[in-house]
Structure 1
Amino acid sequence: MTRKESPVLILGGGAWGLSTALHMLNAGYIDITVIERAEQIPSRYSAAWDLNKIVRAEYEDAFYTELALDAMEGWKTPLFGPYYHQTGYVVAATGRAPRKAIDHLEKALASISSHPTFAPEIRQLNGSKDFKDHTWQYSGPLTGFKGYFNRIAGYAHSADALKGIWEYCVSRGVKFIMGESAGKAVELLYAGGTAFAASSTGTGPEKVTGKGRCIGVRTADGKRHLSDLTICALGAYGAQLIPNLGNFIVARCWSVAHVQLSEAETDYLRGIPTTNVRDLGFFFEPDPKTRLFKLCPLGTGYTNTDGRGISLPPGDRLPPPQDYIPFEDEQKLRQLLRETFPWMAERPFVDQKLCWFADTADSEYCIDFVPDTDKSLVVLSGDSGHGFKMMPSFGKWVVELLDNDSQKLPRWQWRNTDSRGQDWSTSVSWRIGSSRELHDLIEDNSRVIKARL
């Protein structure tokens, strides 16, 4: 067990890395250093480098429902409260939705309709009139819409939450080493020699020479940072340093787009519920500072698989495709707007990007010691697109892991299975469609651009 006065390194200053630093502080750890590749926090390498994320507790698995409820109480505290907005949550499916999308909606409703916390706060919505009676700003046809409204949900401003918790941790003595040179971890150090090293191109590990107790990390500037405990919270980039992580966790991206609104339009949509149309996509109330209206299409996402079958975000020599999203995703979002806010359906999309997550086949997290490292290396991964909402609570589970000296929950344990090359589209109900490779969407997008010229 790591002594609380021993040096601890946390690799990654995203939602889970910061939450871990926060809860370790509260548990009495006094020598914590966060190493972050970005020049500042919020980090552009974090999936939470974003305007907002959904905060809700609809899960088919009651285990996660209770965890989300606990996290939502955390979002209401003075530390996290400035970033939480309980606008409510509309979940719907259109009249053209595939059966799987409808089943997911029905399961989500069933998961909360009999729960004592939610039951009094849910209203079923059947048909466009019900939706418009509840949210008068919906001005589209809402063709065949059916669903429900849950008052106990909303969203959190994710980038602001990262910045706020970072500032709080700094004020309490957590050290941060940041930047593309000083803060980029390129090699895990082991007492018996180097075990895993990221390649110079950022595309994956170059060598695997031995295992043993992890004693720290080497950063891109050549410096060695030693520790008694190293915690890898690098999200989609984790398999660069721990290749075996890529056997059961893949880097996967989903599209994000925005519409730039005027001040009057922003005021017009203020307070609308976070809206999730299961066969099209979801959106939030506009951000009052930037006046950006964020939309995301739903689907199974895109991977970037290398010759070993490991998916990682594009490396340094292949800039991540930004400023556009796949044509098929754009079409989904246009249809979503035609159904809800047709007055902006043909507006240009701005700040388009692909947001990278660490995904598991069953959407379970991995919070565990890496095998054969003498409990000196912890990996936090597998957020699977539903990890940010847990930010107020997440670090508490890491402290419990350290206190117990092992992961007691089988669902969060390290996996020795190899799921590379498998189709995950049917593994969980929220995935609609089949995953595709990043190079396919780049080729498709090139064809669309040429066709438009």
Structure 2
Amino acid sequence: MDKTAPIAILGGGAFGLSTALHFVDAGYTNITVFERDERIPSQYSAAADLNKIVRAEYEDSFYTDLVLEAMEGWRTPLFGPYYHETGYIVATSGKAPQKAVNSLEKALASVSKHPTLKSGIKPLNTVKDFRDYAWQFSGPLNGFKGYFNRVAGYAHSGNALRAVHLHCASRGVRFLLGEKSGKVVSLRYDQTGRCSGITTADGVEHTADMTICALGAFGASLIPSLGKFAVARCWSVAHVQLTEAECDLLRGLPVTNVRDLGFFFEPDPATRLFKLCPLGAGYTNTHGGTSLPPTNPNEGPLRDFIPLEDELKLRQLLRETLPWMADRPFVDRKMCWFSDTQDSEYCIDFVPGTQNSLVVLSGDSGHGFKMMPTFGKWVLDLVNNGKQELQRWQWKSPEKQNSNWGDAVSWRVGTAKELSGLAAESNKVLKARL
């Protein structure tokens, strides 16, 4: 493709920014990123967050090797300030269902054999074993079993988005932000089916030789057929506000993931927030056969709300590990939306019938952000090759899907639910506040 031709990237999240970065590195000079929010990190991006896990634990070595490549990117000057290799504790509690135990054992078997990771893997079978790597754990750790992985940690996702945005802007990438000029309301097609550009909420038509849709959970709002195999799904996020001394106490704490309860990170020094997430199969928001996030996900009854069952999981997680925090109030609660596929595979492909003019980046499935340093390279490969050669990342046919969407994924415990089932609970919470 002519490197001066106009390229439109829809979405300023991790996938969109990584694509802009790799394209400008490759010499493309006419790139515009459209983002609905007034700023980056965007509230509509799943990566607009304090932190995300960076780990290479996969039962499939294909993704393990991709993460190890991405980790090299996290250790560069652009990404390095936001990467913290604190190590990673993976465990199950004594009450974990067999599915969670099996998932942990498969992950341990995989990383224990990997030549890059195996020397840093230590089994954890006793309370003392856990406290050797997380001395701050003062809870009973009832029945906890697991392992420690030295080559893992987390990245400050919101700050990473901000840094890449500023870097790309300094190199000539154009950013149109806000509900008028940055919100894309439709794609434009010519008579042959080729995507010729987009229209924004202010009515302006923008011509593009290549349009790249990286809207995450919102992608099906512009490409309805995407919603047949990539659904919008959300998980809960909560935080505890700590004091400066409490932050110092937990400094250097490994990322801890108890597969039947949830996971947490060392506190953020700037905000003194301690982030926790429960583990489960998540929630969808299906209307007319397609799941999409609410128009404004963080407003209305869902503002500062997580389901009661998720809160109970997090309370139990804290009682087992850091009991002094178990009854503290949760703040900045929210539902984090992402794009999910049934098999947790990404989609990096041309939309069929658009003559290689429209690319969709989707299906992060809760494990995409860690790939941010390298993700855009795969989009560049797609454009250069003219087709997606990896079957696992190709556009998927609807007939390949079934009803128990995502429940079979090995690391998810429980059954996915509809957001509508939370309406009564969230309305009670809202009324109580008023």
Judge conservation of contact 1:235–1:383 (CA < 8 Å) in 2: yes
Q: Which residue number in structure 1 is paired with residue 137 of structure 2?
A: 138
Give me the whole-angstrom Cα distance separating, in 2, the residues matched to 1:139 and 1:378: 49
Deviations 1:134-174 (CA, angstroms, capped at 9, x unpaired): 21100100000000000000000000000000000001000
Judge conservation of contact 1:368–1:378 (CA < 8 Å) in 2: yes
Superposition pairs of residues 45-444 of structure 1, within 5 angstroms = 45-192=44-191, 212-307=193-288, 309-316=289-296, 319=299, 321-418=302-399, 422-444=403-425
Give me the whole-angstrom Cα distance separating, in 1, the residues matched to 2:41 and 2:240: 22
Matched, 1:23 2:4: no
* TM-score, normalising length: structure 1: 0.93
Give me the whole-angstrom Cα distance separating, in 2, the residues matched to 1:247 and 1:177: 29
1:97 alignment partner, SS class? coil
User: Percent identity over the alignment?
Assistant: 67
Q: What is the deviation of 1:420?
A: 6.7
Judge conservation of contact 2:216–2:338 (CA < 8 Å) in 1: yes
Structure 1 counterpart of 2:188, which letter?
L
Give me the whole-angstrom Cα distance separating, in 1, the residues matched to 2:24 and 2:351: 23
Judge conservation of contact 2:298–2:334 (CA < 8 Å) in 1: no
Structure 1 residues 450 and 217: CA distance shift in structure 2, 3 A: closer
Deviations 1:323-349 (CA, angstroms, capped at 9, x unpaired): 010000000000000000000100000
Deviations 1:300-340 (CA, angstroms, capped at 9, x unpaired): 00000002x10000125994612010000000000000000
1:41 alignment partner, SS class? coil
Structure 1 residues 126 and 15: CA distance shift in structure 2, 3 A: same
Structure 1 residues 141 and 412: CA distance shift in structure 2, 3 A: same
Q: What is the deviation of 1:130?
A: 1.1
Structure 2 counterpart of 1:312, which letter?
L
Judge conservation of contact 2:140–2:321 (CA < 8 Å) in 1: yes
1:362 alignment partner, SS class? coil
Give me the whole-angstrom Cα distance separating, in 2, the residues matched to 1:316 and 1:431: 27
Structure 2 counterpart of 1:144, which letter?
G
Q: What is the deviation of 1:417?
A: 2.0
1:265 alignment partner, SS class? helix
Q: What is the deviation of 1:40?
A: 0.6
Structure 2 counterpart of 1:55, which letter?
V
Judge conservation of contact 1:365–1:382 (CA < 8 Å) in 2: yes
Structure 1 counterpart of 2:292, which letter?
L
Structure 2 counterpart of 1:310, which letter?
T
Q: What is the deviation of 1:449?
A: 7.6
Judge conservation of contact 1:368–1:379 (CA < 8 Å) in 2: yes
Q: Which residue number in structure 2 is paired with residue 42 of structure 1?
A: 41
Give me the whole-angstrom Cα distance separating, in 1, the residues matched to 2:68 and 2:193: 39
Structure 2 counterpart of 1:181, which letter?
K
Give me the whole-angstrom Cα distance separating, in 1, the residues matched to 2:72 and 2:433: 49
Judge conservation of contact 1:247–1:418 (CA < 8 Å) in 2: no
Structure 1 counterpart of 2:354, which letter?
T
Judge conservation of contact 2:298–2:304 (CA < 8 Å) in 1: no
Structure 1 residues 367 and 154: CA distance shift in structure 2, 3 A: same
Structure 1 residues 67 and 84: CA distance shift in structure 2, 3 A: same
Consecutive aligned runs of 4 or more in structure 1 exceeding 6 Å deviation? 448-453
Give me the whole-angstrom Cα distance separating, in 1, the residues matched to 2:406 and 2:188: 37
Judge conservation of contact 2:86–2:152 (CA < 8 Å) in 1: yes
Deviations 1:42-94 (CA, angstroms, capped at 9, x unpaired): 11100001000000000011110000000011000111000000000000000
Q: What is the deviation of 1:430?
A: 1.0
Q: What is the deviation of 1:133?
A: 2.4
Give me the whole-angstrom Cα distance separating, in 1, the residues matched to 2:54 and 2:160: 13
Deviations 1:156-201 (CA, angstroms, capped at 9, x unpaired): 0000000000000001000000001110000001113xxxxxxxxx
Of 314-323 and 378-387, more deviation after overlay is shown by 314-323
Give me the whole-angstrom Cα distance separating, in 2, the residues matched to 1:436 and 1:269: 34
Structure 2 counterpart of 1:274, which letter?
V
Structure 1 counterpart of 2:83, which letter?
Y
Ranges in structure 2 where 5+ consecutive residues have no aligned partner: none
Judge conservation of contact 1:327–1:445 (CA < 8 Å) in 2: no
Structure 1 residues 35 and 142: CA distance shift in structure 2, 3 A: same
Give me the whole-angstrom Cα distance separating, in 2, the residues matched to 1:239 and 1:419: 18
Judge conservation of contact 2:281–2:407 (CA < 8 Å) in 1: no
Q: What is the deviation of 1:426?
A: 3.6
Structure 1 residues 420 and 406: CA distance shift in structure 2, 3 A: closer
* TM-score, normalising length: structure 2: 0.97
Give me the whole-angstrom Cα distance separating, in 1, the residues matched to 2:152 and 2:297: 41
Structure 2 counterpart of 1:438, which letter?
L
Judge conservation of contact 1:59–1:65 (CA < 8 Å) in 2: yes
Of 123-132 and 269-278, more deviation after overlay is shown by 123-132
Structure 1 residues 140 and 232: CA distance shift in structure 2, 3 A: same
